[in-house]
Amino acid sequence: MAGNLAVGLDVGTSKVCAVAAELNDRGVNILGLGEAPSRGLRKGMVINMDATIDSIKKAVREAERSAGIRIKSVTAGISGAHIKGLDSFGAIGVRRREVRPADMDRAIESAKAVYIPLDREVLHVIPMDFILDGQEGIADPVGMSGVRLEAKVHIITGVASSIQNLVKCCEKAGVDVSDIVFGPVASAAAALSRDEMECGVLLADIGGGTTDMVFIRDGAVRYSSVLGVGGAHVTNDIAVGLRINVHEAEKLKRSCGAAYAGIVNGKEEVQINQTGGNTKTMPAQYISEIIQPRCEEMIGMMKEEVKACCGYELATCGLVLTGGASLLHGFDKMTESLLGLPVRIGRPVNVRGQMAAVANPAYSSCAGLVAYGYESSPARVNHPDIFADIVAGIKGWLKGAFRNKVHIQ
């Protein structure tokens, strides 16, 4: 693969998708997209290697065909209930002189000295702020004078075996994993504006099996969590409630489902095909009556996370919903009203290309992963200005994210 090409691979619970893009003089340009249904994951974690390998192969081959390139390595996204975020502090002495970049590195290094259980791997170490001689909230202390420099970092970890299984699946499907990025961090890169990342914003990537949340402020990820609930739970509720198969339930959810019954026309009727061959006609509102409690539960869980990260005080730009399940009719309105925060739906905007299909919330994570592919690519050296321009907002808060690469034995 040429140095200015990068590929993002999102191995999700509902679908596996690969996005290939080039970095040219106008920015990140999407060249191709490949997608395959995902059969081997539950709640973001691999439970069937063969099925996962098969889905990855299909998605990668399709991306190769549509982009006209050969894919050798990818930046992979990871999620799952095993991912945890924690904050840590580290301090060093700077001996009464100006702070140098190497001092920042040492302070971050010392913040990494925190107990992480042996079965976990560090995915990201994201610097949040520096404190110099008690003065808090310094983003870049280089050049300032002081005695004691403290670093506050957000560390994202995952269970080593889960990370290992994902990497193994990719390798067995014929692609190397150059980096691993926590899914919603990638989604944020694709779907958020720099202003939002500066002022304070929550992002919830609602997929099939999980809802992944991050809180970003002053350009740094400050909180992360994974909730074990997503769009597949809504589909299952419909299947059980109407005694239909999940395929039929999925179709009904997308065509006439809504997050709450109040926005559905009371006179509208739908025909459903039950298992066993029976067809039935019923008010469309009935489907949303089944969906509503699950949506209330999901929003209630998100609310707890908003409280946990002080989102009500600090998320000036509110909540951005992305991921396929954010498309459920009325879910954004319902979230806004139950949460009491401004809510919008986020889709990939920080990328370009002829592929209209990518402009869908379900592809935010995959499109964002592409941007991280350039972090270590020669394209960065060849086009320093362009790189800085495109990825500056992302890089700022990614800084240090790959300091601790995942070590796979």
Ligand X SMILES: Nc1ncnc2c1ncn2[C@@H]1O[C@H](COP(=O)(O)OP(=O)(O)OP(=O)(O)O)[C@@H](O)[C@H]1O
Q: Write out the residues near ligand X by the rule CB under 6 A.
A: 12-15, 38, 44, 79, 207-210, 230-232, 235, 250, 253-254, 323-325, 327-328, 362
Task: Return the range that interacts with Mg ion (CB under 5 A); candidates 168-176, 199-207, 278-286, 305-313.
Answer: 199-207
Alpha-carbon distance 144 to 310, whole Å? Answer: 30
Should residue 400 be labelled a site residue for Mg ion when binding is judged by CB under 5 A?
Answer: no
In the complex with Mg ion, the residue whose CB is nearer, 127 or 230, is 230
Should residue 348 be labelled a site residue for Mg ion when binding is judged by CB under 5 A?
Answer: no
Q: How many residues belong to the site for Mg ion (CB under 5 A)?
A: 2
What does 250 bind: ligand X, Mg ion, none (CB cut-off 5 to 8 Å by kind)? ligand X
- Neighbouring CB atoms inside 10 A of 265's CB total 11
Closest CA to 14 of 54, 34, 44, 51: 44
Nearest approach, Cβ of residue 206 and ligand X (Å): 7
Should residue 231 be labelled a site residue for Mg ion when binding is judged by CB under 5 A?
Answer: no
162 near 120, Cβ under 8 Å? Answer: no
In the complex with ligand X, the residue whose CB is nearer, 116 or 270, is 270
Phi first, then psi: give them for residue 35, nearest 5 degrees.
-145, 145
In the complex with Mg ion, the residue whose CB is nearer, 284 or 370, is 370
Nearest approach, Cβ of residue 9 and ligand X (Å): 12
Nearest approach, Cβ of residue 90 and Mg ion (Å): 32
In the complex with Mg ion, the residue whose CB is nearer, 361 or 373, is 361
Residue 94, helix vs strand vs coil: strand
In the complex with Mg ion, the residue whose CB is nearer, 207 or 368, is 207
Position closest to ligand X via CB: 207
Alpha-carbon distance 224 to 148, whole Å? Answer: 28
Which pair of tokens denotes residue 351? 């990328």
Alpha-carbon distance 41 to 290, whole Å? Answer: 25
Footprint (CB under 5 A) of Mg ion, residues 8-67: 12
What does 210 bind: ligand X, Mg ion, none (CB cut-off 5 to 8 Å by kind)? ligand X
Should residue 90 be labelled a site residue for Mg ion when binding is judged by CB under 5 A?
Answer: no
Terminal Cα-to-Cα distance of the chain (whole angstroms)? 26
Closest CA to 304 of 233, 225, 237: 225
What does 13 bind: Mg ion, ligand X, none (CB cut-off 5 to 8 Å by kind)? ligand X
Nearest approach, Cβ of residue 79 and Mg ion (Å): 6
- Neighbouring CB atoms inside 10 A of 19's CB total 36
- Helices 246-256 and 231-242: crossing angle in degrees, nearest 10, is 110
Footprint (CB under 5 A) of Mg ion, residues 204-223: 207
- Helices 246-256 and 284-308: crossing angle in degrees, nearest 10, is 80
Nearest approach, Cβ of residue 85 and ligand X (Å): 17
Beta-ladder partners of 122: 157
**CA-only gyration radius of the chain, Å:** 22
Phi first, then psi: give them for residue 6, nearest 5 degrees.
-145, 150
101 near 142, Cβ under 8 Å? Answer: yes
What does 305 bind: ligand X, Mg ion, none (CB cut-off 5 to 8 Å by kind)? none
In the complex with ligand X, the residue whose CB is nearer, 79 or 350, is 79
Instruction: Give me the torsion for CA of 62, 366, 12, 74, rounded to 10°.
Output: 70
Residues with Cβ within 8 Å of 158's Cβ and at least 6 positions away in sequence, in order, are: 78, 80, 82, 83, 84, 120, 121, 123, 182
Nearest approach, Cβ of residue 280 and ligand X (Å): 22
Nearest approach, Cβ of residue 273 and ligand X (Å): 18
Should residue 346 be labelled a site residue for Mg ion when binding is judged by CB under 5 A?
Answer: no
Task: Return the range that interacts with Mg ion (CB under 5 A); candidates 4-12, 48-56, 213-221, 243-251.
Answer: 4-12
In the complex with ligand X, the residue whose CB is nearer, 321 or 371, is 321
Which residue's structure tokens are 């006179």?
267
Should residue 361 be labelled a site residue for Mg ion when binding is judged by CB under 5 A?
Answer: no
Position closest to Mg ion via CB: 207
Q: In the complex, which residues of this chain contact Mg ion (CB under 5 A)?
A: 12, 207
